[in-house]
Structure 1
Amino acid sequence: MSEPLPHPDHAAHPHGRRRRRWPWVLLGAVLLFAGGCAALVVVISDENDKTVKVVYQVTGDARKVNIAYSTWRDGSLVTESASSQGLPWRKELSTKGFVKGGLLAVTVGPGGGSAACEVTVGDDAPRTAKAAGAGATATCTGF
């Protein structure tokens, strides 16, 4: 009679124990996840520490407009306003702690006319909108 063939797992490991790979795979996945999270935190903090130039502009033929716009202070979004403004109007600021979610809204006064808003953040493409007629509002968002 011949001897029984050894079990395939026993042949690969001289002590008869099969090595488990899943703890090492799990450890590798956890390390990759932790490294990715750390890299994301560094990128986000670098973006918040970077100074960004924000330019708001309003043009048109309306005699008077009301303007509301976002500014950033210490990483917080704050809304400011300017009432009964003549056109053109421009505001430029440099800020740290820039967060997305800004707004520039222009409402045409009772005298009617048209107005266009434009916001440029750093080197990004400008956000624009137009409005015409008394009480009409142009809103630039998404910056």
Structure 2
Amino acid sequence: MNRALRAVVCSVAVGTLALGLSSCSEAVDQVDKAVNETYEVTYEVTGKNIDSIDFHGGGGKAMEPKVESVSKPELPWKKTVTLRGIMPAAVIPVATDPEGSQVTCKIIHKGKVLEEQSAEGLVTAGGCTAESPVTE
């Protein structure tokens, strides 16, 4: 009787483990697919007295995106980039003039504004950051 009970328990344990590994494998496949999927966003920056604009341009790794920069941009500024997987979209206008600076940034995906921010005065490290639409 003990031997039969052990066999049943072992069979259930092996079956559960196989099912768990199968589910885990499916989750890994979904993450791999999401990481390789691309999406396009358009960054828009308007205002005055903007010294530079930093943005995720699509290079680098999903969680360590390469930051590109434009010095003394002509405003309004607009740039469309292709990002990958879970990489967040981010645009950061920098203005160092404590008076007279105005800035609005937007991140747009498929015609929908994902993020929009506005500020006046000394603006550094504000900007817009949006979660990847691939994760939705």
The structure-2 alpha-carbon separation of the partners of 1:100 and 1:122, relative to structure 1 and needing over 3 Å to count, comes to farther
Partner of 2:34: 47
Partner of 1:41: helix, strand, or coil? helix
| Structure with greater Cα Rg | 1
Partner of 2:74: 86
- Do 2:89 and 2:107's aligned partners in 1 also have CA atoms closer than 8 Å? no
Identity of aligned residues (%): 22
TM-score normalised by structure 1 residue count: 0.70
TM-score normalised by structure 2 residue count: 0.73
- Do 2:107 and 2:130's aligned partners in 1 also have CA atoms closer than 8 Å? no
Partner of 2:66: helix, strand, or coil? strand
Partner of 1:85: helix, strand, or coil? coil
List runs of 5+ in structure 1 lacking aligned partners: 1-9, 11-15
Tell me which of the two structures has the higher relative contact order, counting C-alpha pairs closer than 8 angstroms and 6 or more residues apart: 2
Partner of 2:23: helix, strand, or coil? helix
Partner of 1:118: 106
List runs of 5+ in structure 2 lacking aligned partners: 132-136
Count of matched residue pairs: 126
Partner of 2:46: helix, strand, or coil? strand
Partner of 2:86: 99
Q: Which has the higher helix share?
A: 2
Aligned CA RMSD, in angstroms, stands at 2.7
Structure 2 CA distance for aligned equivalents of residues 112 and 86 of structure 1: 17
The yes-or-no answer on 1:69 pairing with 2:55 is: yes
